[in-house]
Amino acid sequence: MDHDWLLQNLDRVRIGLVEDGTAIGSAMAAAANRLNDKHSKSRALVLLTDGENNAGKIPPNTAAEAVKALKIH
pLDDT digits (tens, 9 = 90+) for 12-49: 877 776 666 888 999 999 988 888 877 777 888 888 88
Write down the pLDDT at residue 41. 77
Nearest to 39 by CA among 6, 71, 8, 9: 71
Residue 55 is given by DSSP the state: S
Q: Sign of the C-alpha dihedral, residues 17, 71, 4, 22?
A: positive
Domain boundaries, the chain: 24-73
Query: How far, in Å, CA of 9 to CA of 18, rounded?
Result: 20
* More reliable by pLDDT, 18 or 60: 60
- pTM of this prediction exceeds 0.85: no
Provide the H-helix boundaries in 11-59: 24-36
